[in-house]
Structure 1
Amino acid sequence: MIMELAILHVKPELDDTFVGQFKEASRIIASMKGYVRHELQRCLEREHQYVLLVWWETLEDHVRGFRQSPEYEQWKRLLHHYYEPFPVVEHYEKVTL
């Protein structure tokens, strides 16, 4: 399993509608093959900043399965206009200690 991490800087003038729109977009991502779960968290120190964490079965489920799907086009239409700058997305795997 891998975790996708994206720090989201939401435009201040759009912050009031972002969470509601994200709830709608959540249904899209939750329907995808390989999706495990996700969390959206609001930053306490920085206004208008969120972190999105998404767990996927495999990296391919995210970068190929989701990102190259028609559903991703819907996701983009719902959410991408909220971000400034556009988020960098990185992937992590659990380290066994």
Structure 2
Amino acid sequence: MILELADIRIQPGQQAAFDEAIQRGVNTVIAKARGFHGYKVNKGIESPERYILQIFWETLENHTVDFRESPAFAEWRAIVGPFFAGPPTVEHFDLLAKSA
């Protein structure tokens, strides 16, 4: 299992609209992608324009090739992209350990 971690900063004052858009985008677009295994979205308390999106993929290629190189990626960006204050920082992680 691969964790995609996206650090997203949005334009001030857009939190309510973005809250709806990010959930709609994941549920209607990303959730249909090959290798998708779930997601979490956290929003900043001290920095209310900051969001951390975690998506769980079967393989790295499910995100970087199957999703990012598909028409679905453009559909996803059309939903959430207008809110971005700048490009999100995206990294991938392998699980090292977890609690029971």
Same fold (TM over 0.5): yes
Deviation digits for residues 6-63 of structure 1, max 9, x if unmatched? 1111101322210111122112100111000001111122121110000000000000
Match of 1:9 in 2: 9
How far off its partner does 1:80 sit?
1.1
CA distance in 1, matches of 2:84, 2:37: 24
Match of 1:31 in 2: 32
How far off its partner does 1:84 sit?
1.3
CA distance in 2, matches of 1:55, 1:9: 20
Matching residue's letter, 1:64: V
Match of 1:42 in 2: 43
Match of 2:18 in 1: 18
Check if 1:93 corresponds to 2:94. yes
Q: Quote the RMSD (CA, aligned, Å).
A: 1.4
Uncovered stretches (5+) of structure 2, i.e. residues with no partner:
none
Runs of 4+ residues over 6 Å off in structure 1:
none
Q: TM-score, structure 2 length as denominator?
A: 0.90
Q: TM-score, structure 1 length as denominator?
A: 0.92
Matching residue's letter, 2:45: L
Q: Secondary structure at the match of 1:39?
A: strand
In structure 2, do the counterparts of structure 1 residues 9 and 95 end up closer, same or farther at CA, with 3 Å as the change threshold? same
Matching residue's letter, 2:82: H
Q: How many residues align?
A: 97
CA distance in 2, matches of 1:13, 1:46: 12
Percent identity at matched positions? 29
Match of 1:53 in 2: 54
CA distance in 2, matches of 1:76, 1:69: 12
